[in-house]
Amino acid sequence: MTPHQSRPAALTRLHRLLAVLGLAVALLVSSAGVASSEVWVTNDAAGDVVAFEYDGESEEMVPAPDQAAGDVRRFAVSHTARHVTIRVTMRRKLPKEDWMLFERIKTPRGAFDLMVFRFGFGGGVSLTKANSMREVGCRGMSVKYDANAVQIAVPRRCIGRPSVVRVGAGVSTFTGDDESGRAYADDALRSAVGEYLKLSPPVRRG
């Protein structure tokens, strides 16, 4: 089950935040960190979360340095013969619900959107073609929760067995109800939330 299959009000909220995070059309080039033939790791600044009111009146983003849940500190991509594994480590463990982790995986042949989420109505993991609602069947995809980190392993066969990938990630948490409240967001590869998710350098299959 994905967020788009339950609670229409929550769908509006998700679409609004996705637009803020830049999970839409174009992707920017990242030069942070150092890439190898298999593993790429970088650190993200602490206290760079931004807040977004979704009450329908204001869409201004403001800094929220005290928001530790969802504040990304470390981002790692491992590209092996069988899997692309993405690990996002945060300043504090995520709450039990009302959060989502969104990732963009770009390959030479296209791009994929990967979402891990937990809301009051349920949770799960979803892999779709980029900028579409078309689910990609992917047996063997797994999610692991380890203290304040989330790790997702995607079989390479599900994304066309690419020789190289570039990956971006954003984390968001929510407070309030379906009508009004606050969303917190952090891009794993920049010190602020931009119009689009920033991508890693190319990470080649090891």
On the question of pLDDT at 171 being above 60, the answer is yes
Give the separation between CA 84 and CA 157, rounded to whole angstroms.
Answer: 10
Poorest-confidence range of 60-64, 95-99, 121-125, 192-196? 192-196
Poorest-confidence range of 6-10, 147-151, 159-163, 195-199? 6-10
Closest C-alpha to 40, from 93, 91, 84? 84
Per the DSSP assignment, residues forming a β-bridge with 72 are: 90
pTM reported for the whole predicted model: 0.80
Closest C-alpha to 182, from 8, 73, 57? 57
Are 38 and 206 contacting, i.e. CB atoms less than 8 angstroms apart? yes
In three-state form (DSSP H/G/I as H, E/B as E, the rest C), the secondary structure along 174-195 is: EEECCCCEEEEEEECCCCCCCC
- Structure-block tokens of residue 113: 């959107």
Are 71 and 49 contacting, i.e. CB atoms less than 8 angstroms apart? yes
Sign of CA dihedral 86, 138, 101, 106: positive
- Please state the rounded mean pLDDT for residues 127-132: 91
- Please state the rounded mean pLDDT for residues 4-19: 46
On the question of pLDDT at 80 being above 90, the answer is yes
The strand pair at 181-187 and 164-176 is best described as: antiparallel
Are 62 and 51 contacting, i.e. CB atoms less than 8 angstroms apart? yes
Mean pLDDT of the chain: 82
Are 74 and 89 contacting, i.e. CB atoms less than 8 angstroms apart? yes
Query: Which run of H or of E encompasses 78?
Result: strand 72-79
pLDDT range class, residue 25, cuts 50, 70, 90: very low
